[in-house]
Amino acid sequence: MTLQEFSKGIRFLLYSIGRDEYLSCINETDRKFIGDSLLWLRFEQDPVPTFLRLPTQDQERVFGLFARRIGGAS
Domain range enclosing 32: 18-60
In a domain, 32, yes or no: yes
In degrees and rounded to multiples of 5, residue 46 shows phi and psi of -155, 75
Is residue 22 one of the residues assigned to a domain?
yes
Average pLDDT in the chain? 92
**49 domain residue, yes or no:** yes
Q: How many Å separate Cα 70 from the centre of its chain?
A: 14
The answer to the question of residue 65 being in a domain is no
CB 38 within 8 Å of CB 30: no
Please tell me the predicted confidence (pLDDT) of residue 74. Answer: 43
**pLDDT for position 65:** 92
Contact 70, 8 (CB under 8 A): yes
Asked if residue 25 belongs to a domain, the reply is: yes
Q: Is residue 31 part of a domain?
A: yes
Report if residue 70 sits inside a domain: no
Count of domains observed in the chain: 1
For residue 27, give the 3-state DSSP assignment: coil
pLDDT at 72 (0 to 100): 56
**Average pLDDT of the segment spanning 46-55:** 96
